[in-house]
Amino acid sequence: MFDYKLLAALAAVVEQNGFERAAQLLGLSQSAVSQRIKLLEARVGQPVLVRAVPPRPTEVGRRLLNHVQQVRLLERDVQGQVPGLAEGGGAERLRISINADSLATWWADAVASFCAEHRLLLEHVVEDQDVGLKRMRVGEVAACVCATERPVAGARSVALGAMRYRAVASPAFIARHFPEGAGATELARAPAIVFGPDDSLQHRYLAGLGVEGSFNYHLCPSSEGFLRLTSSGLGWGMVPELQVRELLDDGRVRELVPGRPVDVPMYWHHWHNGGPLLGELTRQLCRVAERVLVPRTD
Amino acid sequence: MFDYKLLAALAAVVEQNGFERAAQLLGLSQSAVSQRIKLLEARVGQPVLVRAVPPRPTEVGRRLLNHVQQVRLLERDVQGQVPGLAEGGGAERLRISINADSLATWWADAVASFCAEHRLLLEHVVEDQDVGLKRMRVGEVAACVCATERPVAGARSVALGAMRYRAVASPAFIARHFPEGAGATELARAPAIVFGPDDSLQHRYLAGLGVEGSFNYHLCPSSEGFLRLTSSGLGWGMVPELQVRELLDDGRVRELVPGRPVDVPMYWHHWHNGGPLLGELTRQLCRVAERVLVPRTD
């Protein structure tokens, strides 16, 4: 088996943002912590930490950290049944890759009470779908929320439902660019807002309306910034209905073409061997998703 | 001088998300576009594009793109004075690095009408301050909004004012963790929410209240997600007043210790030789910032 004294030292340095605090937490001297990290690096044959302020894990360091987190989760499930084993009993950490729009909308309400009840700390990594799954494959995250159904080896995926997107813009933007309605010619000319190079929602929406070829767009890799730029009249964009409902209701933004949503399916991926806690979290997510997401259409 | 035919081909492939659309835009065959990219790569001695779908610029590719954008901005200023020179006259692009909280709050209203009036398309890169300035130094972005005053060589920085942060949590969280008030002991135990490894706001706030050493925290690198996790009761966190005012007013979140804000100064960095358009944008930002940010205290 791995030497968990060494791995715990790595986790402490990263989670405590430095050697000094890690030493405090572990009840060791700083040089003892430092020696454990060096020994770990000698064993894996490469650096596990970038010595910056604060120290950061290297790629292999992140894999080891995620492994530590998974082992702690499993230990925790055992502790529930064999309380005598527990020592200290701090909160556990779970690293999750998630798409920005889920994190900006339904996610918080789905996990808040669960985390409080189970003393679970979350580390969110915001990634588009393919990158998120890649992180899962190499063991950098223990779970992933994304739009891809197919699980990576060793994991399973659960369908949560779909996020519904609406193409919206400010009333002033619509009046300026689409005075006679948003036809294909006008849509190809008016500036859009695109989240990033992997965001094809605007392209899909335009293609559905017969607009092929290029169009002008701003780039904004922030869910909240995206919505603000849209409602300020900088461009039109596809925004989650969950995020824009209030602005639609009170008229601060309007749909370009009413009744043309785009639905994006959402899946929860998690390791098979994640133990009962991940299983419970999965059930909790399914319950909430059934309420807040729309049923899949496929 | 550089060969701008080659650079324009690079810009078209990246901005149009592919060789086919770039060829359409430039009125060339796909193989002609491809040849220009290869010739450019032969000259710079390394790849400028990652051949993925969509193609993405390499690091050196991004530097060249930013250079193209800066040249276009300068050309545009000349065109205003010498209209005969203009050909086509599409919208220009400006790459800006910005901290997530500015993008999620005051930025959109500050730039929306300016961009519409000047037909300017923005590419936002969300980065913490040091990384943002580093991108500026290597020429990947033309301007930067961040908390560091000192400009990089060739650029100047303008003080915009300060963003005010409030330490908030949901009433249920406060009742659970701080039934007798948020003292140092309770604060050290209650889970915080931290944006990322560079976010030291929560540490600063705790240090100001006499809490030293480690504390538990969730990680959430998303402004909107951060606010949602806070108001859902997952943890306490430092949130921009601009973003949380409404939630504070209607009682959905409360301050941990009333009247203890943390102010973070904001600076606008831009290239000296950015031309009149960047100058006008700078004046516009200063006008808006004076209204929405708080005066600096130093």
pLDDT per position as a tens digit, B98-130: 999 999 999 999 999 899 888 888 989 998 767
pLDDT for the residue numbered B178: 93
pLDDT for the residue numbered B85: 44
In this structure, is residue A157 part of a structural domain? no
Give contacts of B 100-119 with A, CB under 8 A.
100, 103-105, 107-109, 111-113, 115-116
DSSP state letters, A229-245: HHHTTS-BEEEEHHHHH
Contact A214 B122 (CB under 8 A): no
Kindly tell me if the per-residue pLDDT of A83 is higher than 70. no
Q: How far apart are CA B230 and CA B236, in angstroms?
A: 6
Closest Cα to residue B218, out of B195, B242, B246, B200?
A: B195
Q: How far apart are CA A18 and CA A1, in angstroms?
A: 27
Structure-token pair, residue A285: 């997510």
In this structure, is residue A145 part of a structural domain? no
CATH of the domain at A47: 1.10.10.10
Kindly tell me if the per-residue pLDDT of A166 is higher than 80. yes
- Please state, as a whole number, how many other Cβ atoms lie within 10 Å of the Cβ of residue A8: 18
Q: How far apart are CA A102 and CA B220, in angstroms?
A: 12
Q: Nearest residue of A to residue B177 by CA position?
A: A116
- Measured in degrees and rounded to the nearest 5, phi and psi for residue B224 equal -70, -40
pLDDT for the residue numbered B277: 83
Interface residue of A189, A218, A226, A231 to substitute, partner B, most B CBs within 10 Å: A218
Confidence of residue A79 (pLDDT cuts 50, 70, 90): low
DSSP state letters, B69-86: HHHHHHHHHHHHH-GGG-
DSSP state of B294: B
> B142 near B95, Cβ under 8 Å?
yes
Contact B123 A197 (CB under 8 A): no
How close A188 comes to chain B (CA, Å)? 13
pLDDT per position as a tens digit, A24-39: 878 788 898 999 999 9
pLDDT for the residue numbered B88: 46
> B219 near A124, Cβ under 8 Å?
yes
Rounded to an integer, the average pLDDT of A273-298 is 86
Contacts of B183 (CB under 8 A, 6+ apart): none
Domain total of chain A:
2
In this structure, is residue B204 part of a structural domain? yes
In this structure, is residue B170 part of a structural domain? yes
pLDDT for the residue numbered B77: 63
pLDDT for the residue numbered A188: 85
In the predicted model, residues of chain B with pLDDT beneath 50 are 83-89
pLDDT for the residue numbered A252: 95
pLDDT for the residue numbered A185: 86
In this structure, is residue A189 part of a structural domain? yes
Question: Same domain for A168 and A259?
Answer: yes
In this structure, is residue B277 part of a structural domain? no
Long-range contact pairs involving B244-250 (C-beta distance under 8 Å, separation at least 24): B244/B166, B244/B168, B247/B168, B248/B166, B248/B168
Task: Choose among B21, B224, B229: nearest Cβ to A214.
Answer: B21
How close A286 comes to chain B (CA, Å)? 18
pLDDT for the residue numbered B59: 86
Question: Same domain for A167 and A85?
Answer: no
Confidence of residue A236 (pLDDT cuts 50, 70, 90): very high
Q: How far apart are CA A6 and CA A11, in angstroms?
A: 9
Q: How far apart are CA A80 and CA B134, in angstroms?
A: 48
pLDDT for the residue numbered A102: 95
pLDDT for the residue numbered B90: 58
CATH of the domain at B193: 3.40.190.10
Question: Same domain for A174 and A82?
Answer: no
Question: Same domain for A257 and A169?
Answer: yes
In this structure, is residue B243 part of a structural domain? yes
Q: How far apart are CA A85 and CA A197, in angstroms?
A: 49
pLDDT for the residue numbered A88: 46
In this structure, is residue A290 part of a structural domain? no
| The pairing of beta strand B143-146 with beta strand B92-98 | parallel
pLDDT for the residue numbered B136: 83
Strands (E), chain A: 49-50, 56-57, 92-98, 120-126, 143-146, 155-169, 192-194, 217-219, 237-240, 254-255, 262-271
Structure-token pair, residue B141: 């972005």
**Cβ–Cβ contact A171 with B under 8 A:** no
Strands (E), B99-152: 120-126, 143-146
> A144 near A96, Cβ under 8 Å?
yes
> A277 near A73, Cβ under 8 Å?
yes
Closest Cα to residue B223, out of A100, A132, A237?
A: A100
Mean pLDDT of chain A: 87
Which structural domain, as residue segments, surrounds residue A43? 1-89
Q: If DSSP codes are grouped into helix, strand and coil, which group holds residue B99?
A: coil
Contact B121 A216 (CB under 8 A): yes
pLDDT per position as a tens digit, B184-213: 888 988 999 999 877 889 989 999 988 887
